[in-house]
Structure 1
Amino acid sequence: MARVHVAAWRAAYQGIMTDDRLAGLSERTFAQRWESIVTSPGEVRNFVVERDRQIVAIGSAGPPRQPVPAGEVHMVNVHPDAWGTGAGTAMLERLQDELRTLGYTSAYLWVADGNQRAITFYANRGWSPDGEVMDDERESPPLRELRYVQEL
């Protein structure tokens, strides 16, 4: 999972995050985070897509982090070697199904401003921007994100 996470960020965020930030991403650090998440599951549901016994996509969805009556797709990350293979679509569909199972009739997600590949991916699957913008202060400089929504 960490391998996919780091590779996806390094490829998708080129020109969006600083080169130093991307170079400093650590599979070990991400692996520790994922181990904690998997061994102490909370309300957020986590999934993987496998191809040839290798994880090629990771994703999570669940209750919203904001006070809105919609489920949240917290993350979709696909290893760059699996871009264009349907792994991202399979993951997104699974996450949407999970949100429906949890009783949500609409959903939202955040996508980095400038991540044109992801923006196009979501738009082609019926997601649309609602005009909300957020600066993720966990990144330095802060990462500008756009909110996309969809009825489930």
Structure 2
Amino acid sequence: MADAAVRPAQFDDVAVITRIHFDTWRTAYDGLLPPEVFEAFDFTEAERAWADAVEHAHVFLATEGEWTVGFVVAGSAPDQEVQNADGSLPADAETTALVSTLLVEPRWGRRGHGGRLVATAAHALREQGATRAVAWIPEADAASKSFYARVGWDPDGTVRTLDAAGRPLREIRVTGGLALLLRH
């Protein structure tokens, strides 16, 4: 394997982040998301959203050699992302962060990039005072469930259903500490 690294994203990385977003969704979520989601993907809108994330959140890129192969976006968790099923907030809501996106292109998978990305984001989140984080993943996404289990994050019993172009997409919330230990 060529040199693998993680670095903070810059504004000039927005186009590659958008490409990885689309290509990874198209490959990894084919069958989970209806074709209409991919057909409706708006690259201009996505680039605006990723530029905003680069400005306001922790966005890190995974690289292997000269290639950018994945990214993670993490930051403070809005209340609706951490609230309990009954709508109440947990006691640690103020120190709970959100990993809103973690994508590694499938062709670069199983090479440690996801673990390096999450560990780097966890370090940045700890520095800003976070004690744990949450992430939402499609319930049917076995690869993401397995990945998060290896870093010690487990489902907390909270689910939500999103509208994916008229098809329900059920997501589960996983949560864990920020002193990550990768499990095999």
Q: TM-score, normalised by structure 1?
A: 0.86
> Are residues 143 and 66 of structure 1, via their aligned partners in 2, closer, same or farther at CA, if it must alter by over 3 Å?
farther
The aligned counterpart of 1:133 is 159
Q: Give the unaligned 5+ runs of structure 2.
A: 1-16, 83-92, 179-184
> Are residues 37 and 56 of structure 1, via their aligned partners in 2, closer, same or farther at CA, if it must alter by over 3 Å?
same
- Is 1:18 equivalent to 2:34 in the alignment? yes
1:103 to 104, 129, 133: 129
Task: Give the superposition deviation at 1:142.
Answer: 3.8
Task: Give the superposition deviation at 1:31.
Answer: 3.0
Segment drifting more, 26-35 vs 72-81: 26-35
* Correspondences of 1:13-52 after superposition (within 5 Å): 13-38=29-54, 41-42=55-56, 44-52=57-65
Distance 2:171 2:165 in 1: 11
Distance 1:98 1:46 in 2: 10
Q: Give the unaligned 5+ runs of structure 1.
A: none
Distance 1:84 1:13 in 2: 17
Task: Give the superposition deviation at 1:134.
Answer: 1.3
The aligned counterpart of 2:89 is none
Q: TM-score, normalised by structure 2?
A: 0.73
The aligned counterpart of 2:169 is 143
Amino acid aligned to 1:50: T
Q: Select the structure of larger CA radius of gyration.
A: 2
The aligned counterpart of 1:118 is 144
Retained in 1: the 8 A contact 2:53–2:73? no
Retained in 2: the 8 A contact 1:59–1:91? yes
The aligned counterpart of 1:81 is 107
Task: Give the superposition deviation at 1:24.
Answer: 4.1
**CA offsets per residue over residues 54-87 of structure 1, 9 Å max, x none?**
2111111110022542111111011112111111
Amino acid aligned to 2:102: V
Retained in 1: the 8 A contact 2:135–2:174? yes
> Are residues 81 and 130 of structure 1, via their aligned partners in 2, closer, same or farther at CA, if it must alter by over 3 Å?
same
> Are residues 140 and 98 of structure 1, via their aligned partners in 2, closer, same or farther at CA, if it must alter by over 3 Å?
farther
**CA offsets per residue over residues 24-49 of structure 1, 9 Å max, x none?**
435454334323443xx12x211111
Distance 1:139 1:106 in 2: 32
> Are residues 89 and 74 of structure 1, via their aligned partners in 2, closer, same or farther at CA, if it must alter by over 3 Å?
same
- Is 1:7 equivalent to 2:23 in the alignment? yes
Retained in 1: the 8 A contact 2:36–2:165? no
Give the CA RMSD over aligned residues. Answer: 1.9
Percent same amino acid at aligned positions? 27
Segment drifting more, 53-62 vs 11-20: 11-20
